Amino acid sequence: AEGHLHLGYIAMSYDLDFAKAKRELELALKLRPSLAEAHALMGFYLLRVGKDPAAARKQLQAAEKLDPLNPWYPRWEAYAAIAQGDEPGAMQLAQRVGRLDPGFAYNGDAVAMVDGAFGRWQACVDRYTQQHATPSASSPQLAVCQAHAGYAAQARATLPTLLADSQHRYVDRTYIAAIYAALGDKDAAMAQLEQAWQDRSAHMDALWLNPWYRPLHGDPRFEALVARIAAGGHPSVPPASNAPPASASASP
* pLDDT tier, 215 (very low <50, low <70, confident <90, very high otherwise): very high
**pLDDT tier, 132 (very low <50, low <70, confident <90, very high otherwise):** low
Instruction: Round the average pLDDT of the chain to a whole number and report it.
Output: 89
- The answer for residues whose C-beta is within 8 angstroms of residue 240's C-beta and 6 or more apart is none
Judged by phi (left if over 0) then psi (alpha if -120 to 50, else beta), residue 142 lies in: alpha
- Residue 136: predicted pLDDT: 52
The predicted model scores a pTM of: 0.86
User: Residue 70 above 50 pLDDT?
Assistant: yes
Whether the Cβ atoms of residue 110 and residue 78 lie closer than 8 Å to each other: yes
58-67, 78-87, 95-104: least confident range: 95-104
End-to-end CA distance of the chain: 22
